[in-house]
């Protein structure tokens, strides 16, 4: 029996994920639907829809006719403009100074190899002019305070918050505030400011004391764990309105990922976690030893296996006694699949996200500060809208590599800076980066399919304010949700 979408290919238009219980999860790339099928049927679908039995093909066609199997993600992405799907976000690079000597720092110790001094009042003026030119009443603007260590320029943070508060009242623009800090210091007035403006405080902390002090010592080589933890406790005690995020970078070591998460989770002070595979420079082999990446790689050996094991344990972290609300990247994928959302780009860099620095440079990405080839202009002058931004706005279905991948409307191309580092082109992901992103989606979707409906349907609206994946722009795909008869070969998830 002929099937609709007979041209679809496994690994491009859909994927089968082994459930380990005699059934598999069918993930439809075109609309992010999930269906449960038998392993025998999954084996046939891996060869293509035309290999289904007549009964299976009839049900497949019914699902297609009713729009439950469809390609609406493509239509949604093609309708969208590069400014859709994310709020205007300004990364405010406050200072080139950092008081830690992290072994994997991408910013050359905070100054990106060329940035000096602190962001001053003139650049602050330019930032608010930039905001005024691109917003109107009712819109949302977010400030991402960054560095170096941004709290070393706390006076500028306080000034910008006060100014934003006045603009909110006068012009009706809503501001969100997030800071990425090592939290080794808490200047006077800091806790009050965080509470007043309901800050999202993202703390760079890589796990328990042993792992963290190994990865993130002071510049003098001493551990930073005790000081950071005391300040984390102070932030948590200051207000429940502050969202506290543990931002973990994984670069290997004797303590595994699951144990490091458990050690932080047990403190019951963090609302969310972020977990990143860290770049392991070959020259740091004296620090990382056997954990260092192999030639041609960037991730620590063993990371993917540790990550997979952790996702298998993930659901056990949600308990009534603990304030833990999830790992941001994982919960965002669940949200995209459950609500039918398609990513327009991996991040909002070069779309609605720009970085302002003390040297007055304006960049499309905070990780590219110092790269003069990527610079879009200087603050106070018009930002380039020319060919330099075209690669940042490349639609995923025009990317020759990513357009053939089943996770394209979730990943949308990989971190541009990491692509640049690995391949020399922001839109050409490395094989290693692709492998991780695919494994991430595969594991999270498999986890999601195994959880209760209550977990899948819980409210995740808060994630829209959390700047997950650098503000990944998304559009709702408006997929149809028909009432379907009970089917013999497909179960809805």
CB 28 within 8 A of CB 9: no
Burial of 309 (0-12, 13-18, 19+ CB in 10 A): middle
pLDDT for res 372:
87
From CA 491, how far away is CA 21, in angstroms rounded? 14
β-pairing, 174-181 vs 200-204, is parallel
In the block, tokens 């458990």 appear at 262
Per-block mean pLDDT, blocks of 10 residues, the chain (493 long): 92 95 96 97 97 97 96 94 92 89 60 74 96 92 94 97 95 95 96 98 96 87 91 98 96 92 98 85 45 55 89 96 97 97 94 94 91 90 80 90 96 91 89 91 96 93 92 95 94 93
Where exactly are the structural domains of the chain? 1-57, 85-468
The number of helices, as runs of H, and strands, as runs of E, in the chain is 16, 15
Burial of 292 (0-12, 13-18, 19+ CB in 10 A): buried
CB 289 within 8 A of CB 300: no
CB 76 within 8 A of CB 475: yes
Tell me the C-alpha to C-alpha distance, in Å, between residue 318 and each of 262, 269, 307, 468: 12, 14, 18, 20
CB 351 within 8 A of CB 426: no
Residue 268 C-alpha from the chain's centroid? 23
pLDDT for res 105:
63
SS3 at position 378:
strand
The CATH number of 85-468 is 3.20.20.70
- Strand 14-18: give its sheet, edge to edge: 14-18, 23-28, 33-38, 491-492
Tell me the C-alpha to C-alpha distance, in Å, between residue 347 and each of 46, 69, 114, 147: 31, 27, 25, 19
CB 410 within 8 A of CB 396: no
Look up residue 1 and give its two tokens.
């029996």
From CA 447, how far away is CA 311, in angstroms rounded? 7
Peptide bond into 336 cis (omega under 30): no
Look up residue 339 and give its two tokens.
């609500």
pTM for this predicted structure: 0.93
CB 335 within 8 A of CB 343: no
């Amino acid at each position: 029996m002929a099937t609709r979408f007979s041209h679809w290919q496994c690994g491009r238009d859909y994927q089968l994920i082994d459930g380990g219980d005699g059934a598999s999860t069918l993930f439809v790339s075109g609309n992010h639907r999930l269906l449960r099928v038998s392993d025998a049927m999954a084996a046939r679908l891996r060869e293509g829809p035309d290999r289904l039995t007549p009964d299976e093909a009839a049900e497949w066609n019914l699902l297609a006719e009713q729009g439950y199997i469809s390609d609406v993600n493509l239509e949604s992405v093609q309708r969208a403009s590069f400014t859709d799907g994310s709020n205007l976000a300004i990364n405010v690079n406050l200072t080139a100074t950092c008081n830690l000597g992290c072994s994997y720092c991408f910013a050359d110790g905070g100054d990106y190899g060329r940035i000096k001094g602190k962001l001053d009042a003139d650049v602050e003026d330019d930032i608010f002019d930039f905001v005024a030119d691109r917003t109107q009443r009712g819109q949302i603007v977010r400030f991402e305070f960054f560095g170096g260590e941004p709290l070393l320029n706390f006076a500028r943070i306080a000034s910008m918050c006060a100014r934003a508060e006045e603009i909110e009242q006068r012009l009706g623009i809503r501001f969100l505030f997030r800071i990425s800090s090592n939290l080794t210091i808490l200047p006077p007035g800091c806790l009050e400011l965080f509470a007043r403006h309901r800050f999202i405080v993202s703390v760079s902390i890589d796990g328990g004391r042993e792992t963290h002090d190994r990865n993130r010592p002071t510049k003098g080589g001493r551990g930073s764990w005790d000081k950071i933890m005391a300040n984390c406790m102070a932030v948590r005690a200051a207000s429940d309105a502050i969202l506290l995020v543990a931002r973990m970078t994984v670069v290997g070591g004797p303590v595994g990922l699951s144990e490091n998460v458990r050690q932080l989770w047990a403190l019951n002070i963090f609302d969310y976690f972020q977990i990143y595979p860290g770049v392991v420079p070959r020259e740091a082999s004296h620090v990382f030893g056997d954990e260092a990446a192999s030639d041609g790689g960037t991730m620590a050996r063993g990371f993917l296996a540790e990550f997979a094991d952790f996702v298998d344990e993930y659901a056990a972290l949600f308990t009534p006694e603990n304030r833990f609300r999830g790992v941001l990247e994982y919960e965002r994928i669940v949200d995209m699949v459950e609500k039918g959302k398609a990513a327009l780009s991996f991040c909002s860099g070069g779309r609605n996200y720009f970085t302002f620095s003390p040297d007055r440079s304006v960049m499309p990405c905070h990780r590219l500060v110092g790269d003069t080839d990527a610079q879009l202009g200087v603050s106070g002058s018009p930002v380039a809208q020319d060919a330099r931004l075209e690669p940042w706005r490349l639609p995923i279905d025009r990317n020759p590599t990513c357009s053939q991948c089943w996770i394209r409307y979730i990943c949308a191309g990989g971190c541009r800076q990491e692509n640049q580092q690995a391949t020399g082109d922001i839109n050409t992901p490395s094989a290693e980066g692709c492998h991780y992103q695919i494994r991430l989606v595969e594991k999270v979707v498999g986890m999601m399919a195994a959880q209760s409906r209550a977990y899948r349907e819980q409210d995740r609206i808060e994630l829209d304010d959390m700047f997950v994946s650098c503000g990944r722009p998304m559009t709702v795909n408006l997929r149809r949700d028909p009432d379907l008869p009970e089917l013999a070969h497909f179960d809805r998830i």
